[in-house]
Amino acid sequence: MTSQRRSERGNIFAALFGAVALIGVVGAASTALMRGPLSTVVTVNQKAKADTQMQLAAKLAIMEAAQQAAGGDCDGDGYIEPLVPRGPSGSEPIPTNGGLIPGVIGATKTDPWGTEYGYCVWDMKDIGTGSCAAGLIDGPTVDAAANSSVVLAIISAGPDRAFQTACETYTANNDHVTQAGDDIVHTFTYDDARGLSDGLWTLKQGNPDVATIDKEIELSKAASFLSETSFQGGAKFDSGFLDLSAGGLMKLPTQATSGVCNVANTGVLRIDTSGGGQLLQICDPSADVILDPDGDKWVDIGGSGGVGGNIDGLTDGYSHGASRNLFLGSEDANLNVDPAQAISNVALGLGSGEAIVSGDHNTLLGNSAGYNITTGNNNVMIGSGAGGGVTTGSNNIIIGNSDALAAGTSNELRISNFIFGDISGGRLGIGGGTRCWIQA
C-alpha cells in the first residue's frame, strides 16, 4: 500500500498547456526580433549596397559621356551632355521624365530589391540644339546656374519597387528632383561631375574636342601618344633621353617662329631658311662678333645655307659639291654665284668673289679680293681689294692691293703695283711710274 503526498496532486493537461504557451511566447519573441532589429539591419545593408552601386554608376556614366563624339558636347555650348536614358524593354517602372541606366555603362543596373535603377539627365546652356539625342531634360541656360545645377540623378525605387520620385524641368525655384516615398535618390551637379571625372568634364573654350585639367599628371609607367601631342609650356626630361631610334623624327622651328635668342633659351636649336636652304643654328647669348657677325646671337652650326645662306663671317661658308665652289666670309646679301654655271671657284675673305655669277676657276684670297668679278675666269687675286675693277677679265695674277683695273683686264701680272707682267705677250715690267720692260 502506497501513500501519496498532497503536494504531488495535479492535472497533466494543465502542464502540457503551460508548455505550449511557453513555446508560443518564445516564437512570438523571435518573430518580433526578425521583424524589428534584424529586419532593420537587413534594410540598412541593402540601402548601403544601393548607395555604393548608385555612386559607381554615376561615375561611370560621367566618364562615358566624356568619351563620346565632340568630347560629349553634342550641342557645342561648352558643356558635356550625359548619355540619354535607356527606355524600358517591357513593363519595368521608370521615374517620371527619366528612364533606365544606358546599356553601355558597365555598372550594376538592378537595385538590391530587384528593380532597375532610374536615370535622369539634364541639358545645360544651349537647350535642344545641335545633335543631342532625345531624352535630356531642359536645364538652366546660364553658366552660373548650370555649374551648380543637377545634371544627373540615379534613383532606386526602394523596397516597395515603385518610383514616387519625378525628374523635373529646371526652374529657378525648384530642386529638379524631389525625393518621395521610400525612393533612394543620388543627384550630381555639373561641378560634382567635374570632380568625379577628375576634371575631364572641363572643356576648352571654343574647342569641345579638348578637355582641360588643372592638375599635375604623374606617370609611373610608359605612356603612348597615339596622335600629335602639343606641349605649350615645354616638356622636361629630368633623366633618361629622348629616343627617336625607332623611326621618330624631330622638326625644329625656323627663324620665323623661334623668337629672339636670350639667356632663357640658351642652347635652343632652330633652322634658318632665309638663305633659301636649311641652316642649323644654336642660341648662344655670349657669342662674340666672330661667331655671330650679325649680332642676333644665333650661331650657325651647319647645313645647306644655299645662295645667300648667312655667308657673313669666317666661320660661315657656302659650298656646292657638284660645281666645286667654296666661299668663306662673303656677304650673303650679295653672293650671286650660280652653281649651274660657275665651276671651281674658291673665295676666302669678307666680300671676296661675291659678284661671281658664271666665272670659273677663280682663286680669291683676302678682304674684298676680286669682289667685282662676274664672268671672268682663271684669275688669281691675293690681298685686300686685289683685282678691284675686273669684272669680265680672265687669266690675271694680282698680288697685293692694286690700282683700279679696267673691267675687261686680262692676262696681267701685278705684284704690289711695282712688278708688272704681260702674260700673253711674255713681258715683265718693273717700276711704279715709268716701267722698264724685259722681253722674254
Q: Report the pLDDT averaged over residues 28-43.
A: 57
**Digit-coded pLDDT (tens) for 265-314:** 899 999 998 877 888 999 999 887 656 767 888 988 877 654 444 444 44
Max distance between CA atoms of the chain, in angstroms, equals 190
Pairing outcome for strands 346-348 and 325-328: parallel
Tell me, what's the pLDDT at 206? 57
Whether 388 contacts 402, CB under 8 Å: yes
Tell me, what's the pLDDT at 222? 76
Q: How far apart are CA 302 and CA 282, in angstroms?
A: 10
Closest-CA residue to 116 (of 92, 98, 80, 134) = 92
Cα distances (Å, whole numbers) of residue 92 to 85, 95, 104, 416: 14, 10, 19, 111
Tell me, what's the pLDDT at 430? 83
Residues forming beta bridges with residue 130, ordered by sequence position:
none
Q: How far apart are CA 243 and CA 182, in angstroms?
A: 61
Start-end of H helices in 119-159: 143-148
Residue 200 has pLDDT above 80, yes or no: no
Using pLDDT thresholds of 50, 70 and 90, give the confidence band for residue 333.
very low
C-alpha cell at 427: 713681258
Start-end of H helices in 321-371: none
Query: At 64, is the secondary structure helix, strand, or coil?
Result: helix
Alpha carbons within 13 angstroms on the beta-carbon side of residue 138 total 9
Tell me, what's the pLDDT at 306? 42
Q: Report the pLDDT averaged over residues 76-102.
A: 91
Tell me, what's the pLDDT at 316? 52
Using pLDDT thresholds of 50, 70 and 90, give the confidence band for residue 388.
confident
Q: How far apart are CA 140 and CA 176, in angstroms?
A: 11
Q: What angle do CA 80, 100, 165 make, to 5 degrees?
A: 95
Using pLDDT thresholds of 50, 70 and 90, give the confidence band for residue 112.
very high
Whether 383 contacts 403, CB under 8 Å: no
Tell me, what's the pLDDT at 270? 94
Q: What angle do CA 97, 191, 196 make, to 5 degrees?
A: 90
Whether 63 contacts 197, CB under 8 Å: yes
Q: What percent of the chain has pLDDT above 90?
A: 29
Residue 26 has pLDDT above 50, yes or no: yes
Query: Hunting for cell 632663357 — which residue is that?
Result: 264
Q: How far apart are CA 325 and CA 357, in angstroms?
A: 11
What integer best gives the mean pLDDT of the chain?
Answer: 80
Residues forming beta bridges with residue 20, ordered by sequence position:
none
Q: What percent of the chain has pLDDT above 70?
A: 77
Query: Would the CA dihedral through 322, 326, 331, 337 be positive or negative?
Result: negative
Residue 437 or residue 137, greater confidence: 137
Chain centre distance of CA 234? 10
Query: Hunting for cell 650661331 — which residue is that?
Result: 299
Q: How far apart are CA 261 and CA 387, in angstroms?
A: 39
CB atoms within 10 A of CB 127: 18
Question: Could you say which DSSP state residue 30 is in?
Answer: H
Question: Could you say which DSSP state residue 35 is in?
Answer: I
Amino acid, single-letter form, for residue 149: S
Using pLDDT thresholds of 50, 70 and 90, give the confidence band for residue 54.
very high
Q: Which pTM value belongs to this model?
A: 0.45
Using pLDDT thresholds of 50, 70 and 90, give the confidence band for residue 337.
confident
Alpha carbons within 13 angstroms on the beta-carbon side of residue 290 total 0
Query: Hunting for cell 674684298 — which residue is that?
Result: 368
Q: H or E element: which one contains 380?
A: strand 380-382
Whether 165 contacts 185, CB under 8 Å: yes
Q: How far apart are CA 202 and CA 222, in angstroms?
A: 26
